[in-house]
Chains A and B, each alone.
Chain A
Amino acid sequence: MNKASDFIIRVEDLEGRYGETTIFREVNFEVRRGEIFGILGGSGCGKSTLLKILIGLLAPYRGRIWLDGEETTRASHDGMDRVIGKMGVLFQAGALLSSLTIFENVALPILENTELRGALVETMVRMKLQMVSLSGYEDYYPDELSGGMKKRAALARAMALDPQLLFFDEPSAGLDPITAAELDQLILTLNRSLDTTMVIVTHDLDSIFTVIERAIVLDKAAKTIIAAGDPKELREHSENSKVRSFFRREAMQRATVS
C-alpha cells in the first residue's frame, strides 16, 4: 500500500445504506497523516453513518476503506483488529460505562490494551483528566456529571492510549461556548504535540473554521460529497450555492441548514 502511506485514511467508492435506502454513494476521499479533517453537512446527510462505517460499527454496502494501510472492509476482521488499537472515538453522548467511575473509565483502555500498571497508569489517567479540566472528579460516576463534563471525560477516555487517529462525533454538541472553544484549542494542541490525526463530524461553524484544515461536505439530496477542501476557501469560492450557504449559515428555500 505504497500509495496510502501519506494517507492514514483512504475511502474508495463507498456506498452506505440503511435497509433499502441509500444514504450516500460514490464517496471517495483521503485523510492525510496529522491532518484535522472534517466530515460536514446538514442534518440527515449521512455524516454519522459515514463515521460509523469508518470506525467499523456498520458495514458499507459497497466500497473499500483503508485505515493506516490496513483494509478494514474485507470480510475477515483482521484489518479492523489491527487498527482498532490505534484509534479512539468520542461518541456524541460520551458513552461512558455507567458502572465505573470516571477514573476507571479512562483507565479501562490502558489496563486492557497495555502492560502498564500501577502508578504509571494512575499518572496517565490524571494527566488526561487534567487536559480536559476534570481533575478532582476521578471518583465520580458518569450519572453524577453534567453533559459537558461527561463529554470531556469521554474525550479523556478516547485519548487514553494516545491514538494516532481520533474520531469525533459532534464534539461541541451540548457544550457551552467557552467549553466548546476550549475543546477546539485542546484538539489543536493535541494535533500539534502528538501528531494525532483527527476526523471530526460536525456542523458547528465556529469550530469548523477554528480547527478544520480540510473537509468534505455531504448532502442529503445529492446523496454524495458535494464539496471538498479548506472550509474557509469553500465559504468564499465554492461553485455550489448550497455549500456557500452552509458555511455562511444562511437559510435556503425549503432546505434548512443548521
Chain B
Amino acid sequence: MSPAPSDSKHKDFDLDVNSSDHVLTLSVKGKLDKATVPAFLKPCLHSLREQSAGEVHMDLSGVGYLDGAGLSALMAVEREAKHLGLGFTLVNPGERIGSLLSLVDWDELAAKRGIPARRRDSGLIDRLGHAAIQLVRDVYFQINFVGELVYAFGFSLRHPAKVRWGDVVNSMERVGVDALPIIGLISLLVGLVMGFQGAVSLSEYGVGVLLAKLVGLIFVQEMGPLITAIMVAGRSGSAFASEIGTMTVSEEIDALTTMGISPTHFVAVPKVIATLVVMPFLTLYADVVGIAGGMIVGVSMLDISFSGYVVETMSSIELWDVVHGSIKSMIFAVLISGVGCLRGFQTRGGAEGVGRQTTSAVVTGIFLVVLANALYRIGHQALN
C-alpha cells in the first residue's frame, strides 16, 4: 500500500487517490458538478495513465451532490480506463446517485461517440438531388398558386361582397400611405442627381433647355415605376411574406383551410388588390417628386424660369407615356404582391424559414420587376 496524498483541492470537493498493487481507488468527496468537474477530471485521468494494469475503483460514498456534468465526467473516466485496458467499477454510489444512474442507460451512452452531424449537411450529390426535387416542387407549387390566385380573383370579381374590403383598406394604407415619405425622398434625390448630371452634360452642348425633357421622360417612363416598385418590394413584399409565413408556421393557414376558407382568397387577394390600386398612384407621385427634383437644379443652375421648365416638361411628356407608366406599375404590383404572398405560403419550418422566404420575396420580386420592365420595353419597341 502506498497511499498518495490528496491530489486536488477545490472549494467544494476533494479527490483522494489510493494506489495499491492492482487496485487504483479514487475517492471523491463533496460536490461533483459542472463547476468542479474540470478540477476532478484532470488529476483523475492523470493517475489513470500512471496505473499500468489492474482495476480502478471509483468510490462515491463521500459524494454529496452529483449532477449531469458529474455523471458525464465519471463516464469519461470509465472510457479512459477501458481505453487503457483497466477494469472500472463504481463503488458505493448510494441511493440518490443510484436513482440518478437508473435514469440513464450507461452502456448505450458509453457506446456512442461523436457529435451528430446536421443531417441536412449531407454530401454534394445528396444535396444536388434534394435541391432538384425541391425545385420541381417549388415550380409545381408556384403554378398551383398562380392558378389559385387567378381563380380567387375571378371569384372576387363575381362576388365582390365576399372580398375582405376592410383588409384591403388596411393594406392600402400600409403599402401606399405609409410609403409616401420614403418614396418621395428617394425620388427627389434621384431627380436632383439626374438634374445635376443632365445640366452639366447638356450645357456643354448648349442645349440646357432639354433638361426638362430628359428628366421628365426618364422619370415618367422608367425611373418612377422602377423606384416605386423596388421600394414596395422592399417594404411590402417582404411584409406580406413574413406575415403569411408566420401564419403558415403557426397553423393559422391550416385553420382557415379546415374552416372551408380559401387562404388565397382570404389572405392574398386583399393584399394583391390593395397593391394593385395603390401602385399607379405611388408611381405618379414618384414621377412628380422626381421631376420637381430636376426642376430645382434646372431653375437654380441653368437659366430656365420656373414656368418655362413646367411648360417644357408638359410639352415633352405625352399622355401615353403616363399611361404606359401606370400599366407597368400595375404589372409590377401584381408581381410583387403575388410573389410576397407565394413565398409566405411556401414557408416551412420555424422562424428561420420565415426569414428565408422573406428574403426570397424581396429578391424574386425585384428580379421579376426588372425582367418585366425589360420585356415591356422590348415589346413596346417592337410594336412601334
Contacts and interface: CB of A to CB of B under 8 A. Distances in A.
B118 interface: yes
A101 B96 CA distance: 32
Contacts of B33: 162
A69 B299 CA distance: 74
Nearest to A192: B99
Contacts of B67: 162, 194
A124 B68 contact: yes
A139 B72 contact: no
A57 B321 CA distance: 57
Contacts of A21: none
Contacts of B69: 110, 114, 116, 120, 124, 162
Contacts of B65: 195
Interface stretch (B1-9, B104-112, B179-187): B104-112
Interface stretch (A72-80, A128-136, A247-255): A128-136
Contacts of B120: 141
A139 B99 contact: no
B327 interface: no
B147 interface: no
B96 A162 contact: no
A138 interface: yes
B42 interface: no
A186 B103 CA distance: 8
Contacts of B54: none
A120 B108 contact: no
A130 B72 contact: no
A130 B37 contact: no
Contacts of B71: 123-124, 127
Interface string A119-152: 1111110111011000100111111000000000
A112 interface: no
A115 interface: yes
B350 interface: yes
Is the interface on chain B under 10, 10 to 19, 20 to 34, or 35 or more residues? Answer: 35 or more
Contacts of B41: 120
B353 interface: yes
Please classify the interface of chain A as helix (H, G, I), strand (E, B), loop, or mixed, using the class held by over half of its residues.
helix
Interface in B338-365: 348-353
Given A130-B104, A138-B116, A162-B34, A193 B99 contact: yes
A139 B103 contact: no
A8 B127 CA distance: 51
B296 interface: no
Interface string B111-135: 0111111111000000000000000
A139 B116 contact: yes
B352 A130 contact: no
A240 interface: no
Contacts of B112: 126
A99 interface: yes
Contacts of B117: 139
Nearest to B109: A126
A98 B349 contact: yes
Given A99-B351, A101-B118, A160-B68, A123 B76 contact: yes
A120 B118 contact: no
A138 B114 CA distance: 11
A195 B31 CA distance: 13
Contacts of B146: none
Nearest to A135: B108
Contacts of B68: 124, 127-128, 159-162
B350 A143 contact: yes
B100 interface: yes
A116 B108 contact: no
Contact of B350 (A124, A142, A189, A193): A142
Contact of A139 (B76, B118, B349): B118
A39 B49 CA distance: 52
B99 A189 contact: yes
Nearest to B102: A189
Nearest to B350: A98
Contacts of B75: 123
A103 interface: yes
Contacts of B284: none
A98 B96 contact: no
B38 interface: yes
A186 B100 CA distance: 10
B73 A98 contact: no
B97 interface: yes
B72 A127 contact: yes
Contacts of A99: 350-352
Contacts of B35: 114
A246 to B, nearest CB: 30
Contacts of A143: 348-350
Contact of B115 (A97, A122, A194): A122
12 contacts: A114-B69, A116-B38, A123-B109, A124-B69, A124-B72, A131-B104, A141-B120, A141-B349, A159-B68, A162-B33, A162-B67, A189-B100
Q: Shortest 9 CB-CB distances between A and B: which pairs? A: A98-B350, A162-B67, A123-B72, A193-B100, A139-B116, A99-B352, A138-B116, A193-B99, A124-B72
Given A119-B113, A127-B104, A159-B68, 14 more contacts: A110-B69, A114-B34, A116-B38, A116-B72, A119-B76, A120-B76, A122-B114, A123-B72, A143-B348, A143-B350, A162-B34, A189-B103, A193-B99, A193-B100
